Amino acid sequence: MTYKIKVEAFEGPFDLLFHLIEKNEIDIYDIPISEITVQYIQYLKAMQEMDLNVTSEFLVMVATLLEIKSKMLLPIEKKEDHQIEFEEADPRNELVRKLLEYKKYKYIAEALKEKSDLSKRLYFKPREEIIFDNEEDKSLLEDMDMYQLILALEKVLTQKSKDEAKMHFRKMERDAFTVEEKINTIIATLSEKSKVTFSGLFSPLKSRNEVITTFLALLELIKMKRIIVKQSNCFNEILIEQKK
Secondary structure element (H or E) that encloses residue 196, with its range? strand 195-197
pLDDT per residue as tens digits for the range 92-117:
999 999 898 888 888 777 765 665 55
Residue 141 pLDDT? 61
User: Any idea where the domains of the chain sit in the sequence?
Assistant: 13-242
What's the mean per-residue pLDDT of the chain? 75
pLDDT per residue as tens digits for the range 141-173:
655 667 777 888 888 887 776 666 555 444 444
Q: Which three-class secondary structure string do you get for 65-94? A: HHHHHHHCCCCCCCCCCCCCCHHHHCCCHH
Closest listed residue to residue 44, CA positions, set 23, 1, 15: 15
What sign does the dihedral 59-63-64-68 (CA atoms) show? positive
Query: How many angstroms from the chain centroid is the CA of residue 17?
Result: 12
Q: What is the pLDDT along the chain (244 residues), one digit of tens a residue?
A: 444 455 566 778 888 999 999 999 999 999 999 999 999 998 888 887 776 677 778 888 888 898 888 888 776 655 554 444 444 578 899 999 989 888 888 877 776 566 555 445 444 444 444 344 444 445 556 556 677 778 888 888 877 766 665 554 444 445 577 889 999 999 999 999 888 999 899 888 878 788 888 988 898 888 888 888 888 776 778 889 988 7
Number of H helices, E strands in the chain: 10, 4
